[in-house]
Amino acid sequence: MMMLEITLLAPLVGGLLLAFTGHRALAGWLNVATGAVTFAASLALALDVFDHGARLSAGRMFYIDAFNVYLVTLTAFVGMTTSIFSRPYMRHEVERGRVTDRRMRLYHSMYQGFLFSMLLALSTNNLGIMWVAMESATLTTVLLVSLYRTPSSIEAAWKYFVLCGVGIAQALFGTVLIYFAAENRPGGERGDTLLWTVLHDTTAGGLDPAVVSLAFVFLLVGYGTKVGLVPLHNWLPDAHSEGPTPMSAVLSGLLLNVALYALVRFKMLVDASLHMELAGHLMMGFGLLSFVVAGLFLHRQHDIKRMYSYSSIEHMGLMTFAFGIGGPLATFGALLHMTMNSLTKSAIFVTVGYASQIAGTQRIDRIRGLIRTQPSVGWGLLIGTVAIAGFPPFGVFISEFLLLMATMKSWPWLTIPLLFGFGVAFAGLFRHLQPMVFGEPPAGQKPIQANMLPVAIHLALVLWLGLSLPTFLSGWFEQATLLISGAALR
Amino acid sequence: MELTSLGLYSQAIIVFAALVLFTSFVMLAQPRIQPLIYTFAWQGLLLAVVTALVALVSNHPHLYISAALTLVLKVGLIPWLLYRLSIRLNMNYETESITHPSMLLLGGAGLVVFSYFIAVPIVHLSGLATRNTIAVSIAVELLGMLIMIARKTAMAQVIGFMSMENGLFFAAVVSTYGMPLIVELGVAFDVMVASIVFGVFFFHLRDSFDSLDVSHLNGLSETDEAMPLPEAAEVEQP
């Protein structure tokens, strides 16, 4: 379990160091190094869990199983690659005078603080601590959304803070109710019933159905706000579009996943006690609504980062829908889609960051001719968008195809809105993308110094996973599927 | 449930719970900033008293720690912080015009009825928790949310937020004798950090919008005409 401690301590220590040194020239590198250490440790942890099965740390504080270990690795990986991108990007922002030294210190230390709270939320065994970590994820990122101190960024941050604060409070109430049901279950022992392992293994099925269904409604509203489910999504496009781009990349690629992770954990508990599909149906409804509504909203965007954040809502809706269906095939597809969306979306946000630095604005109608001005950025945006829209041979196609198949199997009628949503989202993305990539560049548009390495790595991974899913990864997903849906694939 | 059949302390718990609910209503319709902060502090104090009483009745000594934590945080630190801010920002005598205060209070009463309704399935499981205390805790939480929705100044929204947290804490105390200590410490830490971040935001809001009236925050929305971009000039490359 040493690896888990390193995974958690690295961002914590790095964040503390960066709180004092974050404005130095070397701070960007320290940020990258912290990310690299975290990723290396999480990889070792993943291999360990893959070999030896689920691990419970001493004192039962942390619990790592097949489901969360892959999210820990994914979080650490995206955290690392985004920190590679953030170093030159933020230096450019400092040179343009948008950020001062003090705010750079804030930025760097909160970046690591955010990663720490994400990893804590994933690895903790205590559902209460999970809530605390989710709330501190909001607290660490809220001042980063308003990093530029423009009126609209402050408005976005305020909305983010208030909406997520209200939402997450409902989740705490749901957690209290679950705890209450577990403490009062007939014939069980008291104490420690907020621990996931205790709740799942010994109390499963014994919780009072009325209380548990009430709890799940509150949890869905609470964590659903963070997932960005319609109609609780208002904060998401604002926070993504107004904050610095590395922040948008990690918010979109990681925070939403972790919130969905929390929701799925609770769904596993609720399903065991309820003997009916309440949780699944609620998630399917909200998921499908988010999927379709966000697809429609894609058409109305004028800001490039807002557009891609609606694409995030759309994909989170799809995953929520798939976890709601709940069979092994849908769960497998949803897990795969989580990975694909994280990798692709963070790559897209990195590219979008460069694109808006080239054009000097985030307005779609002023970003033109990227391929001619700087081919690497133009192609990156094009390939990334092709990947996220679900074209073969990219991995998103595979996961979306699996989800479609699962839907056809269990809810044939729902494939119609699903296909409609895919089409609408595709059109929404490409009508904006076409002129941005291929149009005539405005006079005097110059290329900038851009490090496309993280984008290349992410997109190559998505392509690779689309062509062939390696055995260890599929074995991993199968373990997690078994854990979540209670049945093996095939 | 016969009120008279309960022990003296249990009756006292219900009385104080009712007072907590009362403070929520006072906050809902209090247009002036400073009394709002005082009422919030009173709510914290009443909450601490209830927690201590529950600790006494139920023999859960760790609840005394929770009560002390509430006393320090919700009666001391946060109200003091908000008070200082209200003076620094020159808004301690400001009044906010509440549209339709009577409708607001009626809506609040409706929320209380609704809380009693959703408390029904919970009550039959519980030993200590009487129907009243559980319903009151849900009502305090929902009323906090109503404050955040209905009020327009940032200060009132923050107080609504904190009051929601009070409701949650109260729910945990009366239904399960509080959360495990480590969780409670974590939540308290988050609330403390949140109040500091809110304080930072007050200054940002005032610097950018010249007021703490959050109804000015309407620049970001989905509109068909091109977005107004006040910072467009700043974004242009040199």
Q: Which residue ranges make up each domain of chain B?
A: 3-217
The verdict on A442 and A420 lying in the same domain is yes
Residues A281 and A270 occupy one common structural domain: no
- Looking at residue B237, its pLDDT comes to 39
Mean pLDDT of B62-75: 91
Residue A447, SS3 per DSSP: coil
Closest partner CB to B204 (pick from A146, A172, A297): A146
pLDDT digits (tens, 9 = 90+) for A305-350: 999 999 999 999 999 999 999 889 999 999 999 999 999 999 999 9
Q: Is the pLDDT of residue B10 over 90?
A: no
Tokens for B204, please give them: 């940002």
Are A154 and B193 an interchain contact pair (Cβ–Cβ within 8 Å)? no
Give residue B1's pLDDT.
52
Distance CA A79, CA B217 (A): 32
Boundary-marking domain end, from A275, A305, A339 = A275
Same domain, A96 and A56: yes
Using one digit for the tens of pLDDT, what is the confidence trace for A440-450? 888 888 888 88
Same domain, yes or no: A345 and A243: no
Q: Between A394 and B127, where is the model more confident? A: A394
Percentage helix, strand, coil, to 5, in chain B? Answer: 75, 0, 25
Test mutation, A60, A132, A366, chain B, max B CBs within 10 A: A132
Residue A98, in any domain of the structure: yes
Q: Are residues A429 and A361 in the same domain?
A: yes
Residue A151's closest chain B neighbor by CA? B208
Using CA coordinates, name the residue in chain A closest to B142.
A170
A240 and A288 share a domain?
no
In terms of domains, do A232 and A302 share one? no
- Cβ contact A166–B157 (<8 Å): no
pLDDT confidence of residue A310: 93
Tokens of residue A71, six digits? 């999210």
Confidence of residue B162 (pLDDT cuts 50, 70, 90): very high
**So what's the pLDDT on residue A81?**
92
Residues of chain B contacting A353 with CB distance shorter than 8 Å: none
DSSP letters, A248-312, are HHHIIIIIHHHHHHHHHHHHHHHHHHHSS-HHHHHHHHHHHHHHHHHHHHGGG--BHHHHHHHHH
Q: What is the pLDDT of residue A417?
A: 93
Contact B161 A143 (CB under 8 A): no
Tell me which of B10-14, B51-55, B137-141 is least confident: B10-14
Domain membership flag for residue A114: yes
Looking at the structure, tell me whether residues A374 and A426 fall in a common domain.
yes
Q: Do A361 and B214 touch (CB under 8 A)?
A: no
Tell me the mean pLDDT in the region A244-250: 90
- Asked if residue A42 belongs to a domain, the reply is yes
DSSP string, A164-229: HHHHHHHHHHHHHHHHHHHHTSTTPPPS-TTBHHHHHHTSTT-S-HHHHHHHHHHHHHHHHHHHT-
A293 min Cα distance to partner chain B (Å): 13
Q: Is B178 left (phi over 0), alpha (psi -120 to 50) or beta?
A: left
Q: Are residues A313 and A431 in the same domain?
A: yes
Q: Within this chain, do residues A186 and A64 fall inside the same structural domain, yes or no?
A: no
pLDDT at residue B129, as a whole number: 53
Which tops the pLDDT comparison, A188 or B10?
B10
Q: Looking at CA atoms only, how far is residue B166 from chain A in angstroms?
A: 10
Distance from the first to the final alpha carbon of chain A? 33
Q: Do A326 and A463 reside in the same domain of the chain?
A: yes
Which one of A94-108, A123-137, B3-17 scores highest in mean pLDDT?
A: A123-137
In whole angstroms, how far apart are CA A101 and each of A81, A89, A104, A107, A180? 23, 15, 5, 10, 48
| Alpha-helical runs (H) found in A22-150 | 27-52, 66-95, 101-123, 127-145
pLDDT tier at A188 (50, 70, 90 boundaries)? Answer: low
Average pLDDT of the segment spanning B85-91 = 85
Total residues belonging to chain A? 490
Are A181 and B125 within 8 A, CB to CB?
yes
Contacts of A158 in chain B (CB under 8 A): 154, 201, 205, 214, 217
Look at A151 and B219 and tell me if their CB atoms are within 8 Å.
yes
Q: Is B201 part of the contact surface with chain A (CB cutoff 8 Å)? A: yes
**Structure tokens, B83:** 């008070």
> Cβ separation of B217 and A128 shorter than 8 Å?
no
Q: What per-residue confidence (pLDDT) applies to B232?
A: 41
Q: What is the pLDDT of residue A418?
A: 93
Does B171 sit within 8 Å of A165, measured CB to CB? no
Check residue A458 and give its pLDDT.
92
Whether the pLDDT of residue A162 is over 50: the answer is: yes
In the predicted structure, residue A113 carries a pLDDT above the cut 90: yes
- Tell which wins on pLDDT, A194 or A225: A225
Mean pLDDT, all residues of chain A: 89
Quick one: average pLDDT of A282-288? 94
Where is mean pLDDT largest: A396-410, B8-22, B121-135, B203-217? A396-410
The reply to whether A239 and A291 lie within a common domain is no
Range of the domain at A72: 1-125
CA of A474 to nearest chain B CA: how many angstroms apart?
Answer: 36
Residue A443: per-residue pLDDT:
82
Does B2 lie at the interface with A, CB-CB under 8 angstroms? no
Angle at A213 between CA A209 and CA A218, to 5 degrees: 150
Higher confidence at residue A297 or residue A490? A297
For B77, the enclosing helix (H) or strand (E) is none
Among candidate residues A275, A299, A320, the one where a domain is terminated: A275
Q: Does B117 lie at the interface with A, CB-CB under 8 angstroms?
A: no
Chain B residues within 8 A of A214 when measuring between CB atoms: 118, 121-122
Interchain proximity A132–B183, CB inside 8 Å:
yes
Q: Which residues from chain B sit within 8 angstroms of residue A139, using beta carbons?
A: 190, 193-194, 197
pLDDT at B230: 44
CB-based contact, B20 to chain A, within 8 Å: no
pLDDT value, residue B2: 60
- In total, how many domains does chain A have? 3
